[in-house]
């Protein structure tokens, strides 16, 4: 029976560390770090995520601002808002909440964010830095949180077979790069992968980031693996992961639950990235 990884308590510890660092930063003359979120449209899940981000900021002593835009917003108005936030010296981190409503160009909006304020790590400069192993940039929060969750088990990633299911810019690709940086031997699976279960069964570390309820089940998992479930899928009134928890729990050594696994860590890492942005911007001014 697997040990369940308590993402909530790992995240609570990470948030209290950020809180202490924010206090220290402000007491030594730094500005109060501020996160700005651009929220276009009325996607109910995005509304909840953004509220949690605002709450997270307040909890660690950071300021936040949400620019709410109607779904009918034109591309050039969205870009104008991002540019205003880039120019605003009181804003240190900018996050464009995804997905954007149909008709808005996601890539153009993300590319417009000042890379020094790109706390979601989705600007090409920051993605390039991650690829090169340059840690002066920003790394997407979810995969960064997953690495910390895996390391919390005490497992050394060096030489382990890691399989990432999903290849999005937000999760799968940066996840694979971070696992590689930690010296795992990495395989990336996607919708065209043939015999998915044959590949996942070889994984010592399995990260599922698909967005398909319970697509990974017990017989696709190696005995003793670490299984991290990034998926958050609404099925009826329940939130379920990409992993079928009950059958996976029988095979894995460690497993994250949904909810209460990866989600809370994503916000903790966003707060850490915002503090890093504020500190780097302040150091530049000094």
Decide if residue 262 touches ligand NAP (CB under 6 A).
yes
Alpha-carbon radius of gyration of the chain: 19
Q: Closest Cα to residue 227, out of 201, 202, 266, 253? A: 253
Q: List the one residue from 233, 239, 279, 280 that touches ligand NAP (CB under 6 A).
A: 233
Q: Which stretch binds ligand NAP (CB under 6 A): 59-67, 89-97, 189-197, 218-226?
A: 189-197
274 is annotated as contributing to ligand binding: no
Active site residue 53: yes
Active-site annotation holds for 223? no
Is 256 assigned to a binding site?
A: no
Q: What are phi and psi of 258, to 5 degrees?
A: -130, 120
Applying CB under 6 A, does 266 fall inside the site for ligand NAP? yes
DSSP code of residue 32? P
Q: Which is nearer to ligand NAP, 30 or 174 (CB)?
A: 174
Asked if 163 touches ligand NAP (CB under 6 A), the answer is: no
User: Is residue 110 close enough to count as binding ligand NAP by CB under 6 A?
Assistant: no
Angle, CA of 254, 147 and 225, to the nearest 5°: 25
173 counts as binding ligand NAP under rule CB under 6 A: no
Stretch that binds ligand NAP, among 62-70, 76-84, 156-164, 166-174 (CB under 6 A): 166-174
Under the criterion CB under 6 A, does residue 44 sit at the interface with ligand NAP?
no
Look at residues 188, 181, 182, 183 and name the one whose alpha carbon lies nearest to residue 203. Answer: 188
Q: Is 166 in the site for ligand NAP (CB under 6 A)?
A: yes
Q: Which of 34, 117, 118, 120 is catalytic?
A: 120
CA 123 to chain centre: 14
156 noted as active-site residue: no
Token look-up 């149909």 returns 102
| CB burial of residue 68 (10 Å; 0-12, 13-18, 19+) | middle
Annotated binding residues for NADP(+): 166-168, 232
């Amino acid at each position: 029976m697997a040990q369940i990884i308590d993402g909530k308590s790992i995240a609570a510890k990470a948030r209290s560390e950020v809180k202490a660092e924010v206090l220290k930063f402000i007491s030594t003359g730094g500005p109060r770090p501020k996160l700005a979120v651009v929220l276009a449209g009325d996607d109910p899940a995005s509304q909840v995520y953004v509220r949690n981000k605002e709450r997270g900021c307040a909890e660690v002593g950071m300021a936040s601002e949400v620019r709410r835009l109607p779904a009918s917003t034109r591309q050039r108005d969205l870009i104008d808002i991002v540019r205003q936030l880039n120019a605003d010296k009181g804003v240190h981190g900018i996050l464009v909440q995804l997905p954007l409503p149909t008709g808005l160009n996601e890539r153009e909006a993300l590319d417009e964010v000042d890379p020094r304020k790109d706390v979601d790590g989705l600007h090409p400069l920051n993605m390039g830095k991650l690829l090169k192993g340059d840690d002066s940039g920003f790394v997407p929060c979810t995969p960064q949180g997953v690495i910390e969750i895996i390391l919390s088990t005490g497992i050394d990633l060096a030489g382990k077979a890691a399989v990432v299911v999903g290849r999005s810019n937000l999760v799968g690709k940066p996840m694979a790069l971070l696992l590689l940086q930690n010296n795992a031997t990495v395989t990336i699976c996607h919708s065209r992968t043939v015999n998915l279960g044959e590949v996942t069964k070889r994984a010592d570390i399995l990260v599922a980031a698909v967005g398909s309820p319970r697509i990974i089940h017990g017989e696709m998992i190696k005995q003793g693996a670490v299984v991290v479930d990034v998926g958050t899928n609404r099925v009826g009134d329940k939130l379920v992961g990409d992993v079928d928890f009950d059958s996976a729990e029988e095979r894995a050594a460690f497993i994250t639950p949904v909810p209460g696994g990866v989600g809370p860590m994503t916000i903790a890492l966003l707060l850490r990235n915002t503090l890093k942005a504020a500190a780097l911007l302040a150091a530049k001014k000094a």
